[in-house]
Amino acid sequence: MRIIAGEARGLRLFTPKDLQIRPTSDRVKESIFNIVQNYLYDGTVIDLFSGTGNLGIEALSRKAQKVYFVDKSQESIEIIKKNLHKTNFISKAEVLHADVVSAIHKLANKNVQADIIFMDPPYKQGLAVVALEEIIRNKLLHPLGIVVVEHDKNEDIPGEIDSILQFRCKNYGNTSATFYKQKEEVQ
């Protein structure tokens, strides 16, 4: 697993020793970043279910201003911090060791509004929908922002949740990436 583009291009990231964490493949990551590139420059990013920090660190390498990394696994938190130090992005990051719902509430209390929210929850556990509902309820997404959900291609992901609407879905083998915007921005 490596950084694809930007300031830290080519650097290999630390990965877990076991298969508990499923990092986004370089192919999927490159495709996602081709779609969201215009939202990155000086943007605020939230990387939910961060795992290794792969997506958030790629965003920092491509000139995001700040990334909030969220994971409840202590192993993931340690890997994220090692990767942030390796890439010299630690000063542009905040790492939250918490479950996603608690972290969303903490970020909302700090008045964080993200230009991009990445989430790569454990597959087929319904956590993507729970996180999307909390994001909307807590107004965590900037009105012009975008949410990217990585999920199993057979997982039922709604096309619309409250004020956000799916505008794109791409399949990569057994993995899919679904993209959401505020309803007013899709039309």
User: In 2-98, which ranges are E strands?
Assistant: 44-48, 66-71, 93-97
Domains annotated for the chain, with CATH where assigned, are 30-186 (3.40.50.150)
CA–CA dist 173, 187 (Å, integer): 29
Parallel, antiparallel, or unpaired: how do β-strands 141-152 and 175-182 relate? Answer: antiparallel
- What pLDDT was estimated at residue 78? 95
Tokens of 43: 């943007």
94 in Cβ contact with 66 (< 8 Å): yes
Which of 94, 39, 37 is closest to 71 using CA atoms? 94
- What pLDDT was estimated at residue 15? 84
pTM above 0.75, yes or no: yes
Residue 110 CB contacts under 8 Å (≥ 6 apart), including other chains: none
Residue 140 has pLDDT above 90, yes or no: yes
Mean local confidence (pLDDT), 18-34 = 77
Which of 125, 145, 174 is closest to 38 using CA atoms? 145
Q: What are the C-alpha distances in Å from 154 to residues 26, 119, 123, 160?
A: 21, 17, 10, 17
Mean local confidence (pLDDT), 10-23 = 75
For the chain, report the end-to-end CA distance as a whole number of angstroms.
36
- What pLDDT was estimated at residue 187? 56
The residue whose two tokens read 């807590």 is 138
Which of 60, 50, 47 is closest to 5 using CA atoms? 60
